[in-house]
Amino acid sequence: MAAPAAVLAAPPAFDVEAATQRYLDTLSPAQKAKSDAYFEGGYWLLLWGVLYDIAVAGVFLGLGLSARIRGWLRGIRSENLRNLLYAAVYLLLAAVLSFPWTVYTGFFREHQYGLSNQTFGAWFSEALIGLALSVVIGSLLIMLLYLAIRRVGKNWWLWGTGLTVIFLIIGVFLAPIFISPLFNKYTPLPPSPIQESILSMARANLVPATNVYLVDASRQSKRISANVSGLGSTIRISLNDNLLKRSTPAEIQGVMGHELGHYVLNHIVKGLIFFSLLVLLGFVLVNWAFQRLVARYGARWGIAGLADIGGLPLLLVLFSVYSFLITPATNTIVRVSEIEADQFGLNAARQPDGFASVAMKLSEYRKISPGPWEEIIFFDHPSGHTRVRTAMQWKAEHLGNKQ
């Protein structure tokens, strides 16, 4: 029996792999080598960063600097005030000792790979603002942490976790309104088809936003980005001006659909829960390691015990080592959320080609095709290859040959 003419005339099925490869081929060998080198260099920065932290702690502990700072503040009656001042002095001096590393990773390396638009003066002024925030917020948290140590003793790690989580929640709530504007100017995006398409997606997905904000990120970087930040009344949809200038409407819709997905899927709240559990585990392990190191080296370092503020350098460097060791776990938590947001964004925006082309633009500074274990360990977002293939798979299943 002859096949129906409609079947014989049907166009060939959409080839996901071929479509994916066509996008990957838009990245030249030179561009791929450059982005691979930049991103792979970041793996070593993780290791060298924690080693630098250990060296800084060694200066304070091994040379007796921590004990001397504690001694200078001994005349202050209030222990809370002494601890607050010690924390501020330590954070400032540690930042000074870390400055060569900070300026290399944050300024020179970004210029080396052509990703930064900042002069050194502009970068340094922002670094000072960041340092001021770190000293003020960090000193307050440290003072409260040592107050908990004195009040509750061996259960300090539980209270420390609670304090840290409270600070995290407050930070997420306040960041869009009070912290982010310290570094960038946020202006309402003028009425336009782009603005309306973003707000339409937001309304369709019950995101309570009435405006879209444009961020002047181009004065700092060439990177493209967008986000939905804040909690409750501070929720804000933002996209940076690089995204607006360098992208088509389809690409912008693809990105913003993804960002709206983070809100709709409660990724901020889920992330706070997961990271709270990691903070709890961190306090338990740091407490264990601190007690054993002080039992062995405390006399040499001049540390009397956990409640001694002079042990702060050891406490913080142990958290730094812990953060380094759980990098695969933290990356996986974030990456899973990003994968979910990718799927949400494709369904919300229905712009698979726009999303795929943005993934290629992001691959200007993210390795495009890592190995499976490399992606699991080092990537906090899906790789460009993964994202392009996901978009093409979605296109095959939902649009077929319509595009």
Binding positions are 258, 262, 338
E strands in 151-278 = 186-188, 212-215, 226-229, 236-240
Q: For residue 188, count other CB atoms closer than 10 A to its CB.
A: 11
List b or e across 115-136, with b for residues whose CB sees 16 or more CB atoms inside 10 angstroms. Answer: ebbbeeeebeebbeebbeeebe
Bin 351: left if φ > 0, else alpha if -120 < ψ < 50, else beta.
Answer: beta
* Cα distance between residue 94 and residue 54, in whole Å: 11
- What are the C-alpha distances in Å from 143 to residues 15, 52, 78, 307, 312? 60, 25, 11, 11, 11
Binding positions for Zn(2+) are: 258, 262, 338
- Per annotation, catalytic residue among 110, 251, 342, 375: 342
Cα angle value 335/336/337 (rounded, 5°): 90
259 among known catalytic residues? yes
- Side chain identity, residue 225: S
The β-bridge relationship of strands 212-215 and 186-188 is antiparallel
Three-class DSSP category at 26: coil
- Per annotation, catalytic residue among 53, 110, 259, 375: 259
Strand partners, 212: 237
Q: For residue 298, count other CB atoms closer than 10 A to its CB.
A: 19
Q: Which of these, 329, 321, 393, 327, lies nearest to 355 by C-alpha position?
A: 393
* Cα distance between residue 231 and residue 211, in whole Å: 16
* Cα distance between residue 362 and residue 342, in whole Å: 14
What does the block give as tokens for 201? Answer: 């997606």
- Side chain identity, residue 9: A
Q: Which residue has the tokens 């290791």?
A: 47
Three-class DSSP category at 225: coil
The residues that are catalytic are 259, 342
